[in-house]
Structure 1
Amino acid sequence: MEQSQFSERLRQAMGKAHLKQADLVRMAAERGEKLGKSQLSQYVSGKVTPRREALGTLAGLLGVPAEWLAGQQDVAAAKPRVQVQVHTERERTMREFKKSSKLDHVLYDVRGPVVDEAARMEAEGERILKLNIGNPAPFGFRTPDEVVKDMRQQLTECEGYSDSRGLFSARKAIMQYSQVKGLPNVQMEHIYTGNGVSELIQLSMHALLDDGDEILIPSPDYPLWTACATLAGGHPVHYLCDEQADWYPDIADMESKISDRTKALVIINPNNPTGAVYPREVLEQIVEVARRHQLMIFSDEIYDRLCMDGVEHVSIASLAPDLPCVTFSGLSKSHMIAGYRIGWMVLSGNTRCMSDFLLGVNMLSNMRLCSNVPAQSIVQTALGGYQSVETYVRPGGRVCDQRDFVYRALNEIDGITAVKPKAAFYIFPKIDAKKFNIHDDEQFALDLLHEKKILVTRGGGFNWEQPDHFRVVYLPRMEVLAECMDDLADFLSTYHQD
C-alpha cells in the first residue's frame, strides 16, 4: 500500500464523516482502543502507514471497509458495510444550564407570570390596560421642560465615567436636600447615586448581609426589598402593617420578630403598595425599637414628594441621630422620569458604627464604576427648580383627583374595601375572599386579565400572605379609570373562584 494513497483516503473518509484528528483519538479512547495523537498525525500526513490492527481501528471509527482504506478496493466499493453513527464534539447533546438556586425563593410579581400572560395577549392583538406598575410616562405625565433642556445641554460633558459615588454637583444637591429634610451628620462621601433606587437596594443588601442574617421588612412590601435580601443570602422576616390602622406598622409585631440574628429593619415611607405615610409618633416608636435592639435602619422614601391632603413627610433618619441610617430617594416618581434611572442613598447618623459596611458599599460601588452620568447631570436642576409634582398632588391635580375617584369607586363595589392612600399613586384594596371564594390571588388576577383586559398585581406579589388584596395604579386619566372601575364592578358581580 502506498503511503500517499492511504493518507489521501484517510483524509477523504475523515472529511465525509466530519471528523478531526482529535475526534478520532477521543472516539478510540471511548472504545478502549489505542490510537495516539502523534501516531494518527503521521498517518494523515502520509509519513507512515498503519499496521493491520491500527488499520482496523481507523476503518471501524470511520465506518469504511479496511480494504478500501488500505487501497485494495476502488472508490465505488468504498461504501461502508455497517453504518456507524458518529458524533462530533459540536453534535453532542449539551448539558442543561439551570437558573441559580439563589433564585428559588425570589419573588417579583410586579413583572411576573400574569405580566407574561398579558404580553402574550398583546402579541395576539389584545389591548391591555396596565395598572400593574408605577410608570408615569405612558399615562401622559411629562418630565419638566427645564430638566430635559438641562440634560440636552450637558450631554457632551457626560461621555466619561464619573466618580463611583456620583457627580459632585448631583451629590451636593442631594446633601442640601437631605439637610432640609433634617438628616443629621450628612457628608458628601456618604452619598451614592445609582441607576434608580433599585440598584442601591441590591448594593446595600449585599454589603450588609451574611448568609442567615435576618432583616425586618414590612408586609406588604415593595418586593424588591425581599428579593434583594434573599439574593444576598439574608433571611427576610416580615412584620405586619395594620390595615385597620391606616396601614401603619404594627410595632408589637415588629419587635416580636427580632432575634439575635436581626441586623436591620426596613421601612417604606410613603409606602408602596398601600400609599400610607407614617406620622412622626409612629416613626419615633420604630426608632425606639431600633435603638433597643441596636439595628440599622433602611428607609425607602422615593415617594416623599408625592404626599397629599396636607400630610407632612418626616424622614426617620432625622429622628435617629445616634443610629446608623440609610435613606433612599430619587427622581423617577417625583419628576416623572422613571426611564432616566437616577436615585440615591444617604448614610447618616452614627456612621462610626458602620465604617466596615461603608467599605463594602464603596467596594460594590466601585465595581459597577458609576451610575448613569447624563441622568446625574440633572439632579441639581430637578431638586432646585420648580417642583411640578406639587400641581399633581394638590386638590384639582391629576394624581389627587384620580386618587379620590378610585378610592370612592372601589369602596362602592360590593365585596371591596380600601384604605385611602395619603401619597404615591397606588391603592391596595381588600377583596372579600369568602364572598368570591378566592383561594388563589394569582388566578384572580389572571381571570380579570382574560375577561376584562385589566392587568393588576396580586397582593401575594407584595409578600402579603392572604389571597385577599391586589394593587391598583391610578395613573391613567379619569375617563380610563372610570371605564376600568365599571369593568371591575361588572367582573366581580358574577365572579366566583372554583
Structure 2
Amino acid sequence: MDSGGGNVAWRFGAANPALAAASAQSIRSLVHRMYGCVDKSDPRPLAPLGHGDPSPFACFRTAAAAEEAVAAAVTSGKHNNYPTTAGVTEACSAVAAYLSRYLPYKLSTGDIVLTAGCNHAIEIMMAVLATPGANVLLPRPGYPLYEARAALGGLEFRRYDLLPENGWEVDIEGVEALADENTVAMVIVNPNNPCGSVYSYDHLAKIAETARKLGIMVISDEIYDHCAFGSKPFVPMGVFGEIDPVVTLGGISKRWMVPGWRLGWIAMTDPKGILRKKKIFDSIITYRSISVDPAAIVQGAIPQIIANTDESFFTNAMNKMREAAEICYQKLKSIECVTCPHKPEGSMFVMVKLDISYFDAIDDDIDFCCKLAKEESVVICPGSGLGMKNWLRISFAVDPSLLEDGLERLKSFCLRHAKPSTNQGS
C-alpha cells in the first residue's frame, strides 16, 4: 500500500490565492513581520509602537465595572446559549441607547447588529456591498482591512487622499472626481487611524453633503469614538444621518481598552430609513446568519458595562492618552529625519514622514522598520502597508516610560544610520 499517495493525482492545492494577497495587506501581518525581526537576545524590553493595543499596560487597564460585568455574566449561567442573529436583545438595546446619547434622534434595538469586533463589521459591510460592478471609496492612508475585504469579495475600491497639510481632512474634490455611477459608498475613519486626527463638525457636514450629491452612503468607522483629547470634540457622523444615510461601525475595543473581548456593532444611523428601503439592513442580517457571533458572555455583559462604567474612567483614560500623545509628538520633533505634519488629537496613532535620503543603506520604510526592530527592539508599522510609502505609523498607546525609551531608541537608530555627510546637529 502506498501510504505516501505518490501515485495519486491530488486535485487540491493551495487555497484561494487572493487570501495570501489579502493577508499581506493586513496590519497584523505587517506588524508581525516586524516582530519577526526582533533580536530575542536583546535584554531591553520590546517597545511595541506598531499596533493600537493598550491593554497590556497597567495604566490603561479597563474599568473595574467592565470586568465585574463580564464576571457576573459568566457566573449567572444565563449566557451559555447561542445568541440570536442580530445579537442579544438587551445588548442591542444598550448599544442603541449608548449611541443615541450623542445623536439628535433615537436609535431602536432593531437598528443595531452586534459583531465579533469592528473588524467583523468591516467584513460584513464589504461583503454586503460587493454587487457586480460596484465600487467603494476608501481613505489613503487607511486601515488596510477594508481593501483586503473588498478584494476578497470582488468589490472594486478606489482610494481618495487625506490631506496632511489640512490636518488629514478628506480631499472632498478628490472624492467627487473618483466617484462614478457605480460608486455605492465612501468610508471615513473618525477619530482617525492611522493619522490621529479628529474631524470637525463642519468637515463632517461637508462629507455628508458630498455623499448626498453623489447618491452614496457613508460608512463611518468610529471604533475610536470619544478617543479625542485635542481641540476638537468627537462628533458622530450619524449626526448628519438626515442629510445622507450613514452606517456606523463601532465597538468597545478602544474606548474600554479591551480589544480582545471582540464586541463590535453595525448601527443604522439613518433616521429616514433609506438603508432599509434599499435592503442594506436585510443583507447585513443575511450575512450575519452565515457568519460568526460575538461571544454570548460579552453580549450578556454589555448592558452593565455601559451602565456601570463611571465617566471618570473615560476622563482618566483620555488624560493618559493625551500625555502619551504629547510625549510622542515632542520626541518626534527632535528627530531630524521624520516630519510630523499634524499633532495627534485622537485615536492612538500618529503618521510621520520619513526622509529616506537622510540614511545610508536603508532602502525604504519597510527596510527601516525591519532594521529598527532588529537593532533596537522597537516595532513600528511601515506606512507602505497603509498606502503611504516612506511614512511611519506610530502608536503611543504604551506605558509612558516605555514610550519615551522606545522613541529614544528610534532617535539613536536614525543617528547611527545617517549618511556621513548628513548634518546631525549637536
**Pairing 1:442–2:370 present:** no
**What is the CA–CA distance in structure 2 between the aligned matches of 1:434 and 1:400, rounded to whole Å?**
32
Deviation at 1:218, TM superposition (A): 0.6
DSSP-derived class of the 2:56 partner: helix
2:17 maps to what in 1? 101
Distance 1:479 1:371, change over 3 A: closer
The CA distance in 1 between the partners of 2:289 and 2:234, in whole Å, is 32
- Residue type of the alignment partner of 1:480: L
Give yes or no for the alignment of 1:475 onto 2:391. no
Q: What is the aligned partner in structure 1 of residue 422 from structure 2?
A: none
Alignment counterpart, residue 272 of structure 1, candidates 190, 193, 217: 193
Paired position in structure 1 for 2:353: 430
* Contact 2:198-2:346 at 8 Å conserved across structures: yes
Question: AA paired with 1:137?
Answer: S
The aligned residue for residue 35 of structure 1 is: none
1:454 Cα deviation from its structure 2 partner: 0.9
Letter in 2 for 1:446: C
| Gap runs ≥5 in structure 2 | 420-426
Distance 1:104 1:367 in 2: 23
Shift of 1:433: 3.0
TM-score by length of 1: 0.77
**Does residue 132 of the first structure (1) align with residue 56 of the second (2)?**
no
What is the aligned-residue identity percentage? 24
Which residue is 2:33 aligned to?
116
Question: What is the CA–CA distance in structure 2 between the aligned matches of 1:432 and 1:476, rounded to whole Å?
Answer: 25
Q: Distance in 1 between matches of 2:396 and 2:122?
A: 25
* Counterpart code for 2:33: D
Report the alpha carbon displacement of residue 383 of structure 1 after superposing the two structures with TM.
2.1
Counterpart of 1:471 in 2: which secondary structure? strand
SS at match of 1:312: coil
In the alignment, which residue of structure 1 is the partner of 2:63?
144
Call closer, same or farther: CA 1:183–1:294 in 2, change over 3 Å.
farther
State how far apart, in whole Å, the 2-side matches of 1:450 and 1:185 are: 52
Rounded to whole Å, the distance in 2 between the matches of 1:185 and 1:401 is: 35
Q: CA deviation at 1:124?
A: 6.7
Question: Which runs of structure 2 are paired with 1:402-417 in the superposition (5 Å)?
Answer: 402-417=324-339
Report the equivalent of 1:198. Answer: 119
Alignment-derived partner of residue 34 in structure 1:
none
Moved more, 430-439 or 274-283: 430-439
What is the identity, as a one-letter code, of the residue corresponding to 1:241?
A: L
Letter in 1 for 2:295: N
1:457 maps to: 381
Amino acid in the other structure paired with 2:17:
S
1:363 aligns with 2:286: yes
Which stretch shows the higher mean deviation, 204-213 or 401-410? 204-213
Q: Following TM superposition, by how much is the alpha carbon of 1:178 offset from its aligned partner in structure 2, in angstroms?
A: 2.0
1:315 aligns with 2:233: no
* Equivalent residues in 2 for 1:31-430, closer than 5 Å: 87=2, 90-92=5-7, 94=10, 97-103=13-19, 105-106=21-22, 107-113=24-30, 115-116=32-33, 118-119=35-36, 121=38, 128-140=46-58, 141-155=60-74, 156-182=77-103, 184=105, 186-349=107-270, 350-355=272-277, 356-368=279-291, 370-385=293-308, 386-387=310-311, 388-393=313-318, 397-418=319-340, 419-430=342-353
Structure 2 Cα separation of the partners of residues 365 and 122 of structure 1: 42
- Tell me the TM-score normalized by structure 2: 0.89
Partner secondary structure for residue 317 of structure 1:
helix
Query: Structure 1 runs of 4+ off > 6 angstroms?
Result: 122-126
The structure-2 alpha-carbon separation of the partners of 1:196 and 1:114, relative to structure 1 and needing over 3 Å to count, comes to closer
Residues 164, 371 of structure 1: 8 Å contact kept:
no
Task: Choose between structure 1 and 2 for higher RCO, CA contacts under 8 A separated by at least 6 residues.
Answer: 2
Residue 423 of structure 2: aligned partner:
none
The structure whose Rg is larger is: 1
Deviation at residue 202 of structure 1 after TM alignment: 0.3
Aligned CA RMSD, in angstroms, stands at 2.2
Alignment check: 8 A CA contact 1:164 1:369 kept: no
Distance 1:121 1:382, change over 3 A: same
SS of 1:346's partner is: strand
Give the whole-Å Cα distance in 1 for the aligned partners of 2:16 and 2:401.
Answer: 45
Q: CA deviation at 1:439?
A: 4.8
Find the residue that maps to 2:248 and give its secondary structure: strand
Q: Distance in 1 between matches of 2:366 and 2:12?
A: 29
Distance 1:200 1:352 in 2: 20
For residues 31 and 66 of structure 2, the distance between their equivalents in structure 1, rounded to whole angstroms, comes to 35
Evaluate the alpha carbon distance shift between residue 212 and residue 411 of structure 1 in structure 2; reply closer, same or farther with a 3 A threshold.
Answer: farther
Question: CA deviation digits over 1:77-102, x for unaligned, max 9?
Answer: xxxxxxxxxx5673446566223133
Structure 2 letter corresponding to 1:471: R
CA contact (8 A) 2:324 2:396 kept: yes
Offset of 1:190 from its aligned partner?
2.2
On the 8 A contact 1:429/1:471 being kept in 2, the answer is yes
